Every structure is written in structure tokens, then in C-alpha cells.
Structure 1
Amino acid sequence: MKAAVINAFGETPRYSEFPDVIPAEGEQLLGVEACVLENFDKGTASGKHYSSKKLFPQFPAIVGTGGIGRTKEGRLVSFGNMRPPYGAFAERVAAGYVLPVPDGIDAAKAAAIPRSVLTSLLPLKYSAKLQPGETVLVNGATGVSGRIAVQVAKMLGAGKVIATGRNARSLQLLGQLGADAVVDLKEPEEQLAEAFASVVAGGIDVVIDFLWGRPAELLISAFIPQEAGFAKRRVRYIQSGEKAGSSVSLPGSALRTSGLELMGIGKISLETVQEEMKGVWNGIAAGKFYMEIEKVALADIADAWNRTDLDGKRLVLVP
């Protein structure tokens, strides 16, 4: 069968022949319909992600961790948990788990939208416990996940959403998606620090950060109090991505009396995820989530892998 194959960490996947997958006990053979190409796939295939060696214990290997497939009965399903060296970016997979996709939902949307929605929905709702009327800042809102986060925050009842980003077209679009204010990250650092100080002074309850790196350092610095005393506000800061860098310099003063509470997605049960997925499917069917999707042939994986012109667009691979 044809698949997107790497022979070592750091390689660009190539469209090539790979031995057919043979299902083991408990696995289901599926024809692949659509797979979303995400930064997670690039990170794990680079060898630098903490899960790289688990996902790629040997080479050659097929990249991709999940997607949408079709059963032999013709049913569309979401799949995952493939046995290395087999991944999702192939003509066929042997999946360790499958979940039915509701009727009427396009395979490309089913592949692209749910994961991005859950990336924001789960930490905002269950980790930060966002309350109606609270203010949310989405750091890195012009990317795919950031755009969805703006929509999810409003869906959960946020009273105000502040969005940051670098792309001018996306910053304009964010107003239509629910952002009440935007911060342009292309500003010189001095002006950007002032902009962050201004929005922090106006009151922020939750931050969901898809950038980390230097933008996060400037934002976190804005929370450092300029006078002695206890924190005046609780600020839940969700670290969700690292498009601008994998580490930050974090002074102790950023945490001592600022009210900042740093967190990740948090501990969320499988039952919770499955329950929330019902709402996500309903939202997709009702057209509630806006996402720009471009379908790309799996045969063009090498070009797709190295694309830098996406501007908030999600690529979906179609075998």
C-alpha cells in the first residue's frame, strides 16, 4: 500500500510503498478517508517531542496518529491507536479504537475540527473552569487552534475575548469569530509590552497560550504587580502550544503575588472526552465552528509537510 514514510527522525515524509498492514486481535482494518496534518505530527516525527520514541520505536515508519476511515460495511469512523511502525497517513490502517462519525458530516471536517475544538474546550471548561462573563485572552489566535479557541471561549460564555496574533487578515477575521479586541504581535517589543499591560490592567481571568516563547514572556511580565501586597485577581494560564518557542524565562516575581496559576490541559477522563465529543459532533453538523480546510492528496505529502503559507488554514490529507 501507499503511505507517508520516514526512515529516520527529522526526515520529510515520502509517498512510497509500505508493506500492507495486517490487523492483530482487537484491531479493525479501515480504508483511510481523511487525516489532518498538524504540528503534532511534525513534532513527533522530528524526534524532539517527548512521545517521539514511543510513536516511532523503529524505522521505516508511517507518520500520523489518527484520522477518519471507512469500515468494510461503509460506515465512517474516527480512528486512532495504530501499532508502530504503522501510522495514519496511509491508504489503509489497523486501528486500535474506532468511534462512529454521525451521518451527514464530511470526512475532512470530521478529521480536522474535533481535535482543535477539544484542545480548547477541555482545558477551558475543566482545567481553568471558565465561568460565564469572564475575560479570556487567546495568545496565538490567528492560527487554526487559536481561531477555534476564540469561538469556543464565546460558546462557553466568555464575556470578553482578547486575541493576539501576527497575521493581519486573520486579526480582522477574528472579530467576526467572536474576538472583542486584538493585539498585534508584530509591534516592537516596547509597544507590545505596553499593549499587554493595558489589557491586563483591564482584567483577564483566563489565558490560553498556543505560542509560548518570547510572546509568553512579555505577556507574563505584564502580570507582575508593581506594588507590594497579595494578588488581587486569580488568572488561570493554560499552556497549550509552543509555536514561538519551547521554553520561557520565568522570574519568581511572575508567580509570587501576581495571581497567575500555570497549568496544562490537565487530568481529564476518557468518559468526559467521549461525552464532550457528542456536543462537538452536534456543533459541526450545525455549522457552529468555522475552519478553513484545504484538501491535499496524500501523494503530495512532501510538499504539504513543508508548507509555510497556511495562514490559519488546516491541511487535510486524502489518500
Structure 2
Amino acid sequence: MSLIRAFQIAETGGKACFSSIERQNPGPGQVRLSIRACGLNFADLLIQNGTYQDIPAAPFTLGMEIAGEISAIGESVQGFEPGQRVAVYAGQGGLAEEGVFDADRVIPIPDAMSFEQAAGFQVAYGTSHMALAHRGRLQPGETLLVTGAAGGVGLTAVEIGKLMGATVIAHARGADKLKVAKAAGADHLVDDGEDLRQRLLDLGGADVVYDAVGGAAFKAAFRAMRPEGRLIAIGFASGDVPQIPANHLMVKNLDVIGFYIGGYMKFRPDAVRNSFATLMGWFEQGRLRPHISHVLPLDRVEEGMALLRDRKSTGKVVIRVS
């Protein structure tokens, strides 16, 4: 029996820790990867706390987005071969030396893209692209507000919003994080300590709000939206899930839109694959520049989680597995 190392939750409600688990062989429609890197996400913290909307049945290995090389191919898999460099948004299984994943979730990565870039690319860029283009219907010339603009998803929303022709307002905590958002293309910067609603009104309001924070930021942005504005709820990093006054929706003819990329993987995986293909093309053209603030070895995964928990990272935190 061949064993591999994995950062696992062994039982429901249990604490994640390193375990030795049996190596798996791919079944029909699956591939096995030698995992090189895994991107960390705020959702990994929520999963550990038992508060995420989609928690796998225990035991399971943490790590939602993965990059590596194919080491074995299951029956009926076409279009892939051993040694090929690929990425996969699997929702689990990334913080391990190897993993078996469904081939229909696997995508090739460009030669110019490192494993670390690929591991931190899918969730953040996929979320922002689908939320802004597919759900938010962002148009050139519109004004986009991004809250949590220096975080893993927020920074990509700044970058993609600017690429789509919007005027981008970045909201983040502190000068250092705002500097990162400015470098990604933000036109206007609002510090978390400022009156967000008033600053937005001074700038003419927002057509689209991309909110991964919730709480006070959501409420302030909601009150400063233009007529027919669209507010996209991505997450609630503040821990406060806001309530929406429906009468205010009517007065300004507003849309409040939910977006969860994991849900699309279940009922519209084709839309996610098409989005990833577009994004990979933009990367190859040099139009996207992934920002990774920390790359840590597998032994330091808990340190990486703490960086997310304590808001001490910008862009992505990536774990180098091998």
C-alpha cells in the first residue's frame, strides 16, 4: 500500500490536520494528479468552521483549487495524457501530494503559467469574470465598486472590471492594500475608515457593486447605487450577512444578485469552462497579471490559513506542495 500526505478533516466537526492516506487510482472519467500547488481561499476557513454552504462529507482533504501534472488516466478519458500540466477546481483534495479528480473539471494550463499562478487563478478570476460578465452584466463606461478590493477575489474584480471598460472604485483597508488595488487598475480608492456611502455619492454612485464583505460595506454601497444598479453578493468576509429592504429595491429599480461559482459547477459547468477558457486566453495575451502575496510550503499551510483569517495577505495565498 502506497501512502501520501494530506491535510484532512477526518470527522465531521473535527480539526484539520496532516494524515497519511492511501494513494488512489483513477476510475472511469478521472485523472490522478501529482499536485504541485494549491490555492487557499476564504472558503477553506469557513469549511473548517462548519459555516460554508457546501461542506464535503468527512473524511476529506482541504484545498479547492489545484495545479499539477497528470500521473495516471482512468478509462474513457480523452484529451489528456500523463505528464500534462493542468489545473482543476475540485472543491476539495488540493492540500495533498496526489489527488484523483473528475476529468471534466480539468483544464490545461498555458506553458507561460506557473503552477503557483494556476493554483491561485480559477476561483478568484472565475468568480469575478462570471459575476461581472454573466450575472452583473457590466458594460463599458459603467462605474463598478469593488469591496475587499485587495483580497483574493476582490483584486481580480478590479482587474477584470477595468479590462471590461468600467470605471473602478476600490474599497479596502489601509494604504498598502489600496496601493495594490491601484496597481491592478482602480481609478478611485476608498479606505475602509472613510464614509463609503458619501464617497460613492461624491463620485456619482455605482452602477454595479461587487461585494465580498457584507455588513456595513454592503449597506453603504446599497444606499449609493444608481437607478437600475446591480449589487452582486459574492460573500460575507465581515461575518455579517446583511438584510435587504425590499422597498428600496423598488424605488431605484435595483437588482441584488447572488453568485457562487461552486453552484455553477453543478448546474452549468459548461459556463464555468467557457469562462476559464476566456480567462486563460487573456492570460496568454498578457492582459491578466495574477497577484500572489505569499507562497508557502505544505508544512506551513496553517500559517497560510492564518494570513487569510487575519487579513494579512493581498491577492492569493498559494501552498507549494511539491
TM-score (norm 2): 0.84
| Residues 1:175 and 2:172 are matched in the alignment | no
- Offset of 1:289 from its aligned partner? 2.4
| Residues 1:242 and 2:241 are matched in the alignment | no
Within a 5 Å distance, the mapping from 1:16-165 to structure 2 comes to 16-52=19-55, 55=56, 57-59=57-59, 61-72=60-71, 73-81=82-90, 87-97=93-103, 98-158=106-166, 160-165=167-172
Equivalent pairs: percent with the same residue?
26
- Offset of 1:96 from its aligned partner? 1.2
Whole-angstrom CA distance in 1 between matches of 2:197 and 2:119: 38
Q: In structure 2, the residue corresponding to 1:247 is in which secondary structure?
A: coil
Q: Is the contact made by 2:149 and 2:158 (CA closer than 8 Å) also made in structure 1? A: yes
Aligned positions, number = 298
Whole-angstrom CA distance in 2 between matches of 1:104 and 1:195: 40
Whole-angstrom CA distance in 2 between matches of 1:64 and 1:76: 18
- Offset of 1:181 from its aligned partner? 1.0
- The one-letter amino acid of 1:64's match is G
1:61-117 deviation line (CA, Å, top 9, x unaligned): 3212330121133111113448xxx72210111111222222232111111123211
Q: In structure 1, the residue corresponding to 2:296 is in which secondary structure?
A: strand
Q: Is the contact made by 2:150 and 2:315 (CA closer than 8 Å) also made in structure 1? A: no
Corresponding residue for residue 260 of structure 1: 254
Whole-angstrom CA distance in 1 between matches of 2:287 and 2:294: 19
| Residues 1:305 and 2:305 are matched in the alignment | yes
Whole-angstrom CA distance in 2 between matches of 1:309 and 1:80: 23
Q: In structure 2, the residue corresponding to 1:104 is in which secondary structure?
A: coil
Structure 2's unaligned 5+ residue stretches are: 72-81
Whole-angstrom CA distance in 2 between matches of 1:29 and 1:139: 37
| Aligned equivalent of 1:195, options 171, 181, 199 | 199
Whole-angstrom CA distance in 2 between matches of 1:222 and 1:156: 22
Whole-angstrom CA distance in 2 between matches of 1:92 and 1:246: 36
Distance 1:38 1:139, change over 3 A: same
Whole-angstrom CA distance in 2 between matches of 1:186 and 1:8: 41
Corresponding residue for residue 227 of structure 1: none
- Offset of 1:248 from its aligned partner? 0.9
Q: In structure 2, the residue corresponding to 1:249 is in which secondary structure?
A: coil
- Offset of 1:261 from its aligned partner? 0.6
Structure 1's unaligned 5+ residue stretches are: 224-231
Moved over 6 A (4+): none
Corresponding residue for residue 289 of structure 1: 288
Whole-angstrom CA distance in 1 between matches of 2:306 and 2:292: 18
- Offset of 1:300 from its aligned partner? 1.7
- Offset of 1:312 from its aligned partner? 0.9
Q: Is the contact made by 1:215 and 1:244 (CA closer than 8 Å) also made in structure 2? A: no
Larger Rg, first or second structure (1 or 2): 1
Whole-angstrom CA distance in 1 between matches of 2:311 and 2:145: 25
Tell me the C-alpha RMSD between the 2 structures: 2.3
